[in-house]
Structure 1
Amino acid sequence: MMRVGLIGLGMMGRHHARVLQHLDGVELAAVSDPGGDVHGAAPGVPLYPDVAGLIGHGVDAAVCAVPTALHEPVGMQLAEAGIHAFIEKPIAADVASGQRLVDAFASRGLVGAVGHIERFNPALQELKRRLDAGDLGKIHQIATRRQGPFPGRITDVGVARDLGTHDLDLTMWLGGDRFAEIDSQSAILVRDGREDLIAITGRLRNDVITNHLVNWLSPMKERVTTVTGEAGAFVADTLTADLTFYENGSVETEWEALANFRGVKEGNITRFAFPKPEPLKTELEAFRDAIRSGAPGIVTLEDGLHTLRAAEAVINGPSVSGSFNGD
């Protein structure tokens, strides 16, 4: 059994506690939160008020579900103790802090993962499998919409670092490359000093065009990813974990008024059926397997750092064509 510790028992930490207590091959050995386990997320599990106590208890790996500003100091404590770590996204509050975490884990040969959970949504997992199999052919564009009401629990970052990093990460993952250019328009409409609406456009190094609408101002919640390519378009709804394929048509149009339009034609629409496990369970299984056998599948610290670089480029204003260095 792999002994895993959990640091932070807030909104996300409670979910980690629930999944870790039932994950095959894993024992939730200890938890840590200065406020205690007020929600009863881990009854009977040894509880410590600080990270040092959890480290002293003895764990092989740890999940860090604390506010973003604490990711670096907590992550560094774990690295120095030789403990593999899963750090909730974003990797850190800024690129410099993220780089120090990458270096600390790499120099000690430790597994480090970042909690970009959208990659593990069943709809996106199935979409990635089909893209890798060549079902869409060449990818032309990836567009995302991630909109909804403001979550009161988010106080330390704006919408770009919180929600936007999901879309930047999943786009690079689905598109198979990093950003070459990225521009944005943003607004601060509700909170002082933190953007709550942003529109992002970009281009990956392999020339895939990207568009992302992200806000905390919409009365409806929306989580949609559309990938358009040679064979048609996939639409993934990660709220319902549904994946639909809109195929380019091959039937000739007999109606003259419609035939005058050039471009692709409407074809068959297919909604796929596939298993839909809980994304957090799949994500933590990937972390477990990476430690056990070096299995691929986690969002690495390096991946998380590239995503944070893209987010900072977005926040800091439009980039000059070609000036954004995704490396």
Structure 2
Amino acid sequence: MGLIGLGSMGRHHARVIREVEGMELVAVADQFGDRHGVAQGLEVLPDVGALIGAGIDAAMVAVPTYLHEEVALALAAAGVHAMVEKPIAATAAEGERVAEAFAAAGLLGAVGYVERCNPALLEMRRRIAEGQLGEVFQITTSRQGPFPGRIADVGVVKDLATHDVDLTAWIAQSHYAMVSGQVTHRSGREHEDMVVVSGRLENDIIVGHAVNWLSPLKVRETVATGEKGAFIANTLTGDLTFVANGDVRSEWERSSHFRGVSEGDSVRYALARREPLRVEQENFRDALWGRQTEVVSMEEGVHTLRVVEAILASAASGRTITL
């Protein structure tokens, strides 16, 4: 394995690659040096060309988003399999070029959407697929917290909301059909720092996302509501709770006229909590070995970028955008 990009995400990828059986980190590269001490005796190479020259089989790309296309295309041209940190590229058009290059070369290309490896979301998706919710009506997400100093090249939509778009389509097993977005700029930066999104998937599930960098309270929550109840996933803690629809009639006079859903039994599942980033790298390794496993394809990464670009277009135009 080679790793390019030794910043705040790259340092974690380096640690995990070194821990995963069957992977050996043999080369690292970053044009800005190694401020986190990731190399641990390896030479810090200056660019992707030098990384390829080290004779690697596969690479992890953790450079800033605006460099994703350039680095990924160089790896594809050299016949190197790669996983690219999310989003796949800065624009959907760039992402399409990357995905096409890997497909044409017959290479494994993946995108690093680590939330798909969160134990709470993995369990939620499994139980929904088994029919525990019955028909799914709605999926909502809340991803809020303080501003991260590491982000400079994109706004909250492409940095954070891209997670919510990807995981929602994955849980629902459906693409987005339409979106409407509202953004605001409150921190004096070029890019948006708050977004609220509503939309509908192709399978008619309605969705909503509240994402920002302006909250003192860190929240990471995904709620799926269906005909049999609701799943609530806290992806900060890896907890999954199921609240069933109740069938007990209320005797309280003020609510006795209500004929909708009532709150039933609540269950919090005991889950094995493995580090999502490690699961992500193990999935990539297994895919390289030809095993049946789940990685986020580059085509899925492109769809997610099309959705987030539609969210930004909606916010700029005041219209709902159909994909």
TM-score over 0.5 (shorter chain): yes
The answer to whether 1:112 aligns with 2:109 is yes
Q: Which of 241, 258, 262 is the equivalent residue of 1:261?
A: 258
**Cα shift at 1:315:** 0.7
Q: Which of 34, 54, 73 is the equivalent residue of 1:37?
A: 34
Runs of 4+ in 1 over 4 A off after TM superposition: 318-321
Task: Kindly indicate whether the alpha-carbon contact (under 8 Å) linking 2:27 and 2:54 is maintained by their aligned counterparts in 1.
Answer: yes
The answer to whether 1:252 aligns with 2:240 is no
| Local SS of the residue matching 2:242 | strand
Task: Kindly indicate whether the alpha-carbon contact (under 8 Å) linking 1:29 and 1:46 is maintained by their aligned counterparts in 2.
Answer: no
The 5-angstrom pairing of residues 134-145 of structure 1 reads 134-145=131-142
Q: Which of 96, 99, 104 is the equivalent residue of 2:96?
A: 99
Distance of 1:300 and 1:270 partners within structure 2:
33
The answer to whether 1:272 aligns with 2:269 is yes
**Cα shift at 1:39:** 1.7
Please list the CA deviations of residues 298-326 of structure 1 after superposition, one character each: whole Å capped at 9, or x if unmatched.
Answer: 011011100000000001125856x522x
Task: Kindly indicate whether the alpha-carbon contact (under 8 Å) linking 1:18 and 1:42 is maintained by their aligned counterparts in 2.
Answer: no
Quote the residue 2:278 is aligned against: 281
CA RMSD of aligned residues (A): 1.3
Distance of 1:254 and 1:61 partners within structure 2:
64
**Cα shift at 1:35:** 2.6
Distance of 1:257 and 1:47 partners within structure 2:
69
- For 2:294, the aligned partner's letter is G
Q: Which of 230, 245, 251 is the equivalent residue of 1:233?
A: 230
- For 1:229, the aligned partner's letter is G
Distance of 2:171 and 2:184 partners within structure 1:
28
Distance of 1:175 and 1:56 partners within structure 2:
42
Q: How many pairs align? A: 321
The 5-angstrom pairing of residues 124-273 of structure 1 reads 124-273=121-270
Unaligned runs of 5+ in 1: none
Unaligned runs of 5+ in 2: none
| Local SS of the residue matching 1:90 | coil
Quote the residue 2:295 is aligned against: 298
- For 1:324, the aligned partner's letter is T
| Local SS of the residue matching 1:316 | helix
**Cα shift at 1:227:** 0.4
Task: Kindly indicate whether the alpha-carbon contact (under 8 Å) linking 2:4 and 2:48 is maintained by their aligned counterparts in 1.
Answer: yes
Task: Kindly indicate whether the alpha-carbon contact (under 8 Å) linking 2:179 and 2:314 is maintained by their aligned counterparts in 1.
Answer: no
| Local SS of the residue matching 2:106 | coil
Quote the residue 2:322 is aligned against: 324
Deviates more, 1:273-282 or 1:26-35: 26-35
- For 1:258, the aligned partner's letter is S
Distance of 2:177 and 2:161 partners within structure 1:
17
**Cα shift at 1:22:** 0.9
Distance of 2:232 and 2:173 partners within structure 1:
18
| Local SS of the residue matching 1:149 | coil
Distance of 1:93 and 1:115 partners within structure 2:
14
The answer to whether 1:90 aligns with 2:82 is no
- For 2:303, the aligned partner's letter is H
Q: Percent identity?
A: 53
Distance of 1:109 and 1:159 partners within structure 2:
33
**Cα shift at 1:162:** 0.4
Please list the CA deviations of residues 163-218 of structure 1 after superposition, one character each: whole Å capped at 9, or x if unmatched.
Answer: 01000101101111011110011111113421111100000000000010011111
| Local SS of the residue matching 1:317 | helix
Task: Kindly indicate whether the alpha-carbon contact (under 8 Å) linking 2:2 and 2:25 is maintained by their aligned counterparts in 1.
Answer: yes
